[in-house]
Structure 1
Amino acid sequence: MDSDLGLWAIPIAMLGGAIRVSTPFLFVSLGEVLTERSGRINLGLEGTLVFGAMAGYATAVMTGSAWAGVLVAALAGTAFGLLHGLICSLPKVNDIAIGIAMMLFGTGLAFYFGKPFIQPVAPDLPSISFGFWTDVPQLQAALQVNVLFLIGLALALGMAWMFRATRVGLIVRVVGDSTDAARAMGLRPAVIRTLATAVGGAFAGVAGAYLSLYYPGSWNEGLSSGQGLMAVALVIFARWNPIACFGAALLFGAAGALGPALQSVGVSEGYYLFYAAPYVLTLGVLIATSSPTRAMTGAPGELSITK
C-alpha cells in the first residue's frame, strides 16, 4: 500500500507519529509549565519520567491492568516532585543543581528496580480509532489515538483556563511572579511551589507510563531518549502557555516521526540521520529563544533562569 500512496505516505506517517510521539512531550511540558509558572524550574523530570515508565510497567505486569500502571506512575511522579519541592524549599538550595541530582537519582532507581521487568509483557493502554471512515490501512493506523493523548489535550485546555480565570491559577501566577507580593497576600510561596512541583512530577510519571505501556510499549533502560529534558526547551519555546505546549508537542512529535516515515516509503540510505530531528529541533529552539530581548518573554519573574 505504501507504493500506492506514493509520497502521501510521508505526511500520513508523520501525522500518526506526531500523535503518538507527542503525548509524553505534552504531559511532561504541561507539568513543567505548572512548575515554572509557580517560580521553580525542574530539570529532574527526565528521571521522573524514566522511573514512572518503570513503575507503571512493573505494576501493569503484576496486576494485569494498564490503568493501574498509569496510576502508580502518577503517584511515583508525585513522590519525586514532592521530594524535589521539599529539598528546593530549603535555604540556599539551587533548583537546577537539585534537578540534575533528581534526574540521576530517578534513572538510577529505575534501572536498578526495573531489571526483572525487561522481558515480561504488560497489557497496553487502550486507543480509539478515528480512521473508521477510510479503507487505507496507513491512515487508519495514523488515526489510532491513545486515550492519554485526548486526556492531555483536555488538560492543556483546562490548565489554560485555570491560569486565566480561576483563583488557583491566580495564586500560582502571583507566587511565580513575585514572592514578596505573594507573602503580602498572606500566601506561602514555598508550600505552593512544592505542591506545583508535585503535580508536575505526576504529569511526568504519566508520560513515562505512556512510553512503556503504549508507544513503544515496553520497558528498557533507553526508553526515554532525553524527552524529559527536551520538554523543558519545549516549555520555553511555548512561552509558558499550555495551549502552545500542545502545538509544540505535536511539532516535536512530527520531527520524531520523520525517520520512520522516510523508511516507510523505501528510503533506506541515510534515513537514520532524520532520527536526530527532535534533537536538532531542540537545539534550534534553544538558539532561537536565546535573544536577550525575547528569550524570557512571558517567563515568571521568580524563575531561576530569569535571575
Structure 2
Amino acid sequence: MMDNSLLIVLIAMLGGAIRVSTPFMFVALGECLTEKSGRINLGLEGNLVLGAMVAYAVSYHTGNAWLGVLAAGASGIVLGALHGYICKLPRVNDIAVGIAIMSFGTGLAFFFGKAYIQPSAPRLNSVPLGDWTGNASMAQALQINPLFFVGIALAILMSWAFANTRWGLIVRMTGDSAASAKAMGVSVDLVRLLATAAGGFLAGVGGSFLSLYYPGSWNEGLSSGQGLMAVALVIFARWDPIRCIWAALLFGAAGAIGPALQSVGITQGYYFFNAAPYILTLFIMIASARSKGAAREAPGELSITK
C-alpha cells in the first residue's frame, strides 16, 4: 500500500512538474536572452499576466487557442520593446523600469480582463504520450502540451545560437562588454532593444499557457509571481538556456508537491507544500549571492555585477 501511494505521488509529481514548469521555462528563456544582452527585465511578470489575459480574450473571440498564443506573444513584444526603449534613455535604471512595466502590464490585464473572468474560451489540446502504458495515472500525467516541447526546442536553439552564430556572438559581446561591442560597430541599444522585445514575446507565450491550458482559465491571481521567480531561476541556471529547462523542471516539481500529496489523501501541511517554489527561490537567491561561479558566468554589463 505504501509502495502504491509512493508511485502515485511520483507519477503526480512528474505530470505536475511538466505542467507547472512550462510557463517558468518560457519566462526564464526570455529573461536569459535579455540578460545575455546586458539588461535585467523584472517586468516579465507583467508580460506573463498580460499575455495570459490577451491569449484568453483572443481565444474566446476567435475560437482558436493558437491565435491566442500568438496574440499573447505580440503583447509581450510590445511591453518588452517599451522596456527596451525606456532603458536606453540617459540615466535610467533598468530595474526600476522593470518594476514599472510589471505594474503597467498587470494593471492593463486586470482592467481589460474583467470581462473574461466568467466566459469559457477554447483551450490548448495536449498530446497523449502515456496511453501505451495502460496505467490511467501515468496516462494522465503524460498528457503533455505541445508548448512544453516548443520550449525545449527553443532552449536547444538558443544554446546553439549563442555558441555558433554571429547573432549569438553579438548578443553575448553586448552583454559582456558594451565598449567592445561599440568598438566593433555594434549598436548596443538596438541589440538590447531587440533582445528585450524577444524576451517579452517568450514571457507572453508563457502566460498563454496559464490561461489556455493549466490552470486553464483567466483570473487576476493566475501568475502568483512566476515572472519574478524566473529571474532567480536564470541566475540559478547561470545564464545557460539548457540549464534553464532543468531549473524550470525543478521549480515545477516543487510546485507539484502539494497537489501530488493531496492525490493520496495527505492534506496536512498542504499550504506549506504549496509554498515550496517560493522557499526554493529564497534559497536559490541566497546561494547565488554567495556563489563565485555564478558571479564569473554573469554577463559583465548586468547591474548585479557592478
Matches within 5 A, 1:246-285: 246-285=245-284
Structure 1 residue 245, shift from structure 2 partner: 0.2
**Residue type of the alignment partner of 2:221:** G
Alignment of 1:1-307 (within 5 A): 5-291=4-290, 293-307=292-306
Which letter maps to 1:38? S
- Looking at structure 2, the residues matched to 268 and 146 of structure 1 have their Cα atoms a distance apart, in angstroms, of 28
Between the two proteins, what is the percent identity of the paired residues? 65
Kindly state the Cα deviation for residue 272 of structure 1 after the two structures are TM-superposed: 2.3
Q: Secondary structure, in 3 states, of the residue corresponding to 1:297?
A: helix
Q: Size of the alignment, in residue pairs?
A: 306
CA RMSD of aligned residues (A): 1.2
Superposed displacement of residue 177, structure 1: 0.6
Q: Deviations over 1:231-252 (max 9, x none)?
A: 0000000000000000000000
| Greater alpha carbon shift after TM alignment, 294-303 vs 70-79 | 294-303
Say if 1:292 and 1:134 are closer, same or farther in 2 by CA, change over 3 A.
Answer: closer
Most deviating of 139-148 and 292-301: 292-301
Contact 1:50–1:224 (CA under 8 A) maintained in structure 2? yes
**1:239 and 1:297 in contact (8 A); partners too:** no
Of 134-143 and 83-92, deviating more is 134-143
Preserved contact between residue 3 and residue 265 of structure 1 (Cα < 8 Å): no
Q: Structure 2: how far apart are the matches of 1:129 and 1:153?
A: 18
Query: In the aligned structure 1, how far is the partner of 2:94 from the partner of 2:287?
Result: 24
Q: 1:282 to 1:4 in 2, by over 3 A?
A: closer
1:3 deviates by 8.5
Kindly state the Cα deviation for residue 32 of structure 1 after the two structures are TM-superposed: 0.3
Unaligned 5+ residue runs, structure 2?
A: none
SS state of the match for residue 55, structure 1? Answer: helix
2:220 & 2:233 partners in 1: Cα distance? 23
Distance 1:109 1:118 in 2: 14
1:186 & 1:286 partners in 2: Cα distance? 36
Q: Distance in 1 between matches of 2:3 and 2:188?
A: 59
Alpha-carbon distance in 2 for matches of 1:192, 1:268: 49
Cα shift at 1:297: 2.7
3-state DSSP class of the match of 1:7? helix
Distance apart, 1:4 and its partner CA? 8.7
**Distance in structure 2 (CA, Å) of the matches to 1:292 and 1:235:** 14
Q: CA deviation at 1:11?
A: 0.8
Match of 2:92, SS? coil
- TM-score, length basis structure 1: 0.98
Residues 97-131 of structure 1: CA deviation (Å, up to 9, x unaligned)? 00000000100110000000000111111211110
Report the secondary structure of 1:268's partner residue: coil
